Amino acid sequence: MRVLGVDPGLTRCGVGVLDSRPGRRAELVDVLVVRTPVDAPLAERLLALSVELEAAVERYRPDAVAVERVFSRHDVSTVMGTAQASGVALLAAARAGVPVGMHTPSEVKAAVTGSGRAGKEQVTTMVTRILGLAERPRPADAADALALALCHLWRGGAPVPAAAAGGPTAAQRAWAAAEAAARRPTRQGAALPPGVGPAL
C-alpha cells in the first residue's frame, strides 16, 4: 500500500510518500515541501499549490491520501490558510479518485511517538528512526507529512482502489458530472469554456 501524506499549509505544504512493508514497517518513496510566496495573491498561491499536489498524486499514484484534520486556533489567519490548503489537497485526491483519510494532530503524534502531546522535534526524531533515515527531514512540514502517512498506514485501513472496485469512484463520477455541466450551453446558447461552471 502506498500513502501520500499532506501537511497542509499555504507558505509551506509538506508532502511525504511511503510504501508499507511487512512487519509494520514503511519505506520512504519521496518527501518534499511545496512553497508559495507570501506576497502573491491568494488565488495564485492556491492555484500553484493545486498544480503541485495534483502532479504529486499523478506521479506517485498513491492508494490513499492522508491529510491533517484542521482544528480552530486562536490565530484565525493561520487556520484559514491551513484550511484552504487542506481543501486543495482534498480536491487533488478527489479528482484522481483516491480515497482520503483525515487525522488529527494528536492522533498522528500518538501513532508515531506514543504521546498525543509530543512536540515537533520529538515527531521528527521518531519519523527519522522509524524510517531509518540518514538525516532528519527538514523543515518540520516534511516530517509532519511523513508522520501523517505513517499514521494512515498503521491506523487508516486499506482502501480499495477504484479499478479494483469495478469502475470510477463516487468522487470521480461527481467530478465528471461537474465538468459535463460546465460544458452545457448557457441560456444564451453559448458553451462555457472547459473548467468554468455556471455562476451561482
Give the residue numbers annotated as catalytic, written as ranges.
7, 68, 141
Binding site membership: which residues? 7, 68, 141
d(CA 123, CA 32): 17
Nearest to 139 by CA among 11, 5, 6, 14: 14
Contacts 24+ apart (CB under 8 A), 36-41: 36/10, 36/11, 38/11
Nearest to 125 by CA among 146, 105, 151, 104: 146
Q: Which amino acid is located at 53 in the chain? A: L
Binding site membership for Mg(2+): which residues? 7, 68, 141
Nearest to 10 by CA among 49, 43, 47, 67: 49
